[in-house]
Amino acid sequence: MRYLLDTHAVLWSASDSIRLSATVRRLLKERPPADFGVAAITLLEIARLGRAGEVDLKPDPSAWLEDLPQRYTILPFTPAIAWRTVNLDWSHKDPADRLICATALEHKLTLITQDREIIRWGGVPVLW
């Protein structure tokens, strides 16, 4: 595994959205699925967005979430990731963003994200 997909990257990759950068779209087509991971917190974020009607998880939100591990490796929330999350030298308070970054760091992965806060922080390798 080489990359960790941020939540928006997972959602956009599922629909082959033009919001993905050309670099990321090419990478997703050229690299095997085993090269991409998803932090466990991303499942919760996607479920919350689906429940709120902010994203469309067709045909069924539960089935959409159940299918995600068929596409990408889900990286569990571990004690090491928890500790790294609370010790990040970053003032950003969003626990999901912090956990996703800590997961990337713990597994030595490049984070695929367009999140400006994460990019500005510069504490994790980012590709977009």
Tens of pLDDT, residue by residue over 46-84, are: 999 999 999 999 888 999 999 999 999 999 999 999 999
pLDDT-based confidence at residue 109 (cuts at 50, 70, 90): very high
pLDDT range class, residue 97, cuts 50, 70, 90: very high
- Average pLDDT over the chain, rounded to an integer: 96
Rounded-to-integer distance, Cα 107 and Cα 93, Å:
22
User: What is the reported pTM?
Assistant: 0.94
The pLDDT assigned to 63 comes to: 93
Provide the 3-class DSSP secondary structure of residue 59: coil
Alpha carbon distance 46, 2 (integer Å): 22
Domains contained in the chain, CATH given: 3-127 (3.40.50.1010)
Classified as helix, coil or strand, 5 is strand
pLDDT of residue 59: 86
Sort residue 89 into left (φ over 0), alpha (ψ -120 to 50) or beta: beta
Question: Which residue intervals of the chain are DSSP H helices?
Answer: 7-14, 22-30, 40-51, 61-71, 79-86, 95-106, 116-121
The pLDDT value recorded for residue 15 is: 87
- How far lies 122's CA from each of 71, 112, 118, in Å? 28, 13, 6
- Any residues with CB less than 8 A from the CB of 16 and at least 6 apart, and which? 25
- How far is 28 from 16, CA to CA, in rounded Å? 10
